[in-house]
Structure 1
């Protein structure tokens, strides 16, 4: 990204994002704002400073949800874009953008997207398709909702990410245990100790293909959409096992997904930025809203999009936040997929096959994300996955087959956990 150096505010010290911004932004053009306890815990000041684009790292309330800017007006006078790193910094990013007078989500929209109860209320007011739901005050409310829905429902926090605390409930489940487990689930590595946990929802269990949509929005209009197909591991925790794109859905269904995303933008009053929305296709065709994040997607979907479509989604996201209208390819030139890897519960003694997986034809990247000596458990959230493989192919299904084949080569020797 060329042009005179100006200030880009990055709210949340995401090292991977800074690495990508380093490829496209001028040296010394980025100010990073992050909560002091997170900066200290991860030695993030020193790590961020290694990026040439970073001019300074500032302690600030990057995870505040009160709608006020994490920076004083004097620090925003040269800002041309404000970029969120984390789910937990979405509201502070919107507030900072408003204070700087640059494009952004809008504080009201950002707060709605950060609170799934508010999102459900906004979607209901707009007449959008979504599961039946309620906000339970206690486990008795959970029991009543489950009983009214065939003892099958979903319990989840209103303000977490990466499936943290999400629990599928079925007939015969111990609802007190499910309630306690969901409430105890944490995301401490990415959220500040100053952050206060919010509300919970219990929702009707829907069935059908699961997809996500990655969307760029400018001034309230959807200007680019990708649809991603996903797979989820079986069990009580719906952790995503893999993604492929572009979606294999019929064009008519993809069009419905695009229309639903514009309806969602209108429902929450979203201004400018990126959305990562998740949907279940009831009867295989009707998109029902699961949830939506007001940021770029995780789970390696951004590099998959770049592999499939070409160009840089992050660069175009920054351009949108600058008020520009980048032209992105509407059709993918090839398919891309990621497959995640799990390890047996216990302490990792050895890791095998990552190099072999990376050498498979069509594999773009492969690796284990847990090291020898790490404790692992069956995946209860995205953070419990043990490795990944990214692959490309002529289409999404071929890329997924390659990724699956390569992922099977990554194995772990694990010492079983001690018996209680």
Structure 2
């Protein structure tokens, strides 16, 4: 057990039953120190109560409104007694986690900041008030609003829900595209694997599409101060749905660019009033150099970025996330000793006929992990969000170009063949 492990009397509240997160917490927290709270329908659908209790760190799983966005305290006070940290599992639990942290008197994002980060319209408004570079935008409630914005802002547009994750519902619109069809598709987009049926859909927005290299920044924040930052290069598949095809970190871009990204993230933290936790912010480098805000999440990043960070920098980002939520100020290496990358695999829509190459990809040079995430007989949908990818490869190497090249090469070994579904 690491020397940072808390006394057994300490209690951790994990909001949202993230099994991957619980696996990481098993490595750093005492047995029986975690209480998991999640929505009843999600716990039932995935048999998550049983699965969560297989993790040594978990003491109990309780039903509760883990996805409330109104900021009201979702749990009785006695359920928070003895809590030393409140940990959000994913996007839809950020506001509830912040509310629980405030009620328990422990560090957290702050309720106002959490609600701003969970609503992309609020985030845009906060960015505009603070003068952050970002695209022009408008809240929309229908096709007429999209047409009006398009008429006032020539060029490409982005239509998106204000409250989804993993690219669900995000659509790129070029001049001549049908806004009515795009609106219907975006409005209907769902994230049923992680979103409770009791969740009330939020707002929608349209914004001008910026062009340039895409990056993300992962920052550890304690008491409103950025304590650590990483910059990740991002690649996106072409087409109307900007699904992420891969990530490479640390970005090999110039020190001057890293300084600009660091300053932009400090301004973002101040603009939303974020207090303590992790931010995963996404940016487009307009003209190749100027970070413009795309969006920001107040939780650990997905898309395998957390294990990539651990491979490149050493240590455990999850452990340091927990430590700042306990009120500590952990030191992390400012520079990475190595580089790491992930490349995802896609397939044509249809029913999976064959899956090949995962073992070969796993044995390739520089590969840390490789997997096909679908099996024969599974249905593959159109590539519209992160949930439609069918495999991944993680690599680690001495430098970013080598890690990226190895990931691309190994991912090409995984092939998923599908056949059309006629019924």
Q: TM-score, normalised by structure 1?
A: 0.99
Question: Partners in 2 of 1:3 and 1:60 — Cα distance?
Answer: 25
Correspondence for 1:117 among 117, 121, 139? 121
- Indicate the residue corresponding to 1:258 in structure 2: 262
* Contact 2:90–2:300 (Cα < 8 Å) also in 1: no
Measured after TM superposition, the shift of residue 76 of structure 1 is 1.3
Q: Report Cα offsets for 1:182-216 as digits up to 9, x if no partner.
A: 11110011011110000000001101110000000
* Contact 1:49–1:55 (Cα < 8 Å) also in 2: yes
Partner of 2:282: helix, strand, or coil?
A: strand
The alignment status of 1:2 with 2:5, answered yes or no, reads yes
Measured after TM superposition, the shift of residue 72 of structure 1 is 1.2
Question: Partners in 2 of 1:119 and 1:413 — Cα distance?
Answer: 41
- Indicate the residue corresponding to 2:313 in structure 1: 309
- Indicate the residue corresponding to 1:77 in structure 2: 81
Measured after TM superposition, the shift of residue 344 of structure 1 is 1.4
Measured after TM superposition, the shift of residue 371 of structure 1 is 1.3
- Indicate the residue corresponding to 2:418 in structure 1: 414
Measured after TM superposition, the shift of residue 151 of structure 1 is 4.2
Measured after TM superposition, the shift of residue 345 of structure 1 is 1.3
- Indicate the residue corresponding to 2:137 in structure 1: 133
Question: Partners in 1 of 2:82 and 2:22 — Cα distance?
Answer: 19
Question: Partners in 1 of 2:271 and 2:6 — Cα distance?
Answer: 36
The alignment status of 1:22 with 2:39, answered yes or no, reads no
Correspondence for 1:217 among 210, 216, 221? 221
Stretches of 4+ aligned residues off by more than 6 angstroms: none
- Indicate the residue corresponding to 1:156 in structure 2: 160
Question: Partners in 1 of 2:145 and 2:138 — Cα distance?
Answer: 9
Measured after TM superposition, the shift of residue 136 of structure 1 is 1.3
Question: Partners in 1 of 2:314 and 2:419 — Cα distance?
Answer: 43
The alignment status of 1:101 with 2:91, answered yes or no, reads no
The alignment status of 1:179 with 2:210, answered yes or no, reads no
- Indicate the residue corresponding to 2:247 in structure 1: 243
Question: Partners in 2 of 1:41 and 1:187 — Cα distance?
Answer: 14
Partner of 2:27: helix, strand, or coil?
A: coil
* Contact 1:68–1:96 (Cα < 8 Å) also in 2: no
Partner of 1:308: helix, strand, or coil?
A: helix
* Contact 1:342–1:378 (Cα < 8 Å) also in 2: no
- Indicate the residue corresponding to 1:401 in structure 2: 405
Partner of 1:22: helix, strand, or coil?
A: helix
Question: Partners in 2 of 1:87 and 1:124 — Cα distance?
Answer: 23
- Indicate the residue corresponding to 2:280 in structure 1: 276
Partner of 1:135: helix, strand, or coil?
A: strand
* Contact 2:155–2:208 (Cα < 8 Å) also in 1: no
Correspondence for 2:208 among 204, 212, 222? 204
Deviates more, 1:28-37 or 1:69-78: 69-78
Partner of 1:274: helix, strand, or coil?
A: strand
Q: Report Cα offsets for 1:239-293 as digits up to 9, x if no partner.
A: 0000000002111111110111010000011110000000001111111000000
Query: What RMSD, in angstroms, separates the aligned Cα atoms of the two structures?
Result: 0.9
Question: Partners in 2 of 1:138 and 1:31 — Cα distance?
Answer: 42
Correspondence for 2:47 among 12, 29, 43? 43
Measured after TM superposition, the shift of residue 84 of structure 1 is 0.3
* Contact 2:12–2:87 (Cα < 8 Å) also in 1: yes
- Indicate the residue corresponding to 2:323 in structure 1: 319
- Indicate the residue corresponding to 1:285 in structure 2: 289
Measured after TM superposition, the shift of residue 313 of structure 1 is 0.3
The alignment status of 1:229 with 2:233, answered yes or no, reads yes
The alignment status of 1:337 with 2:341, answered yes or no, reads yes
* Contact 2:216–2:233 (Cα < 8 Å) also in 1: yes
- Indicate the residue corresponding to 1:358 in structure 2: 362
Partner of 2:205: helix, strand, or coil?
A: strand
* Contact 1:35–1:192 (Cα < 8 Å) also in 2: yes
How many pairs does the alignment contain?
419
The alignment status of 1:380 with 2:351, answered yes or no, reads no
Structure 2, unpaired ranges of 5+: none
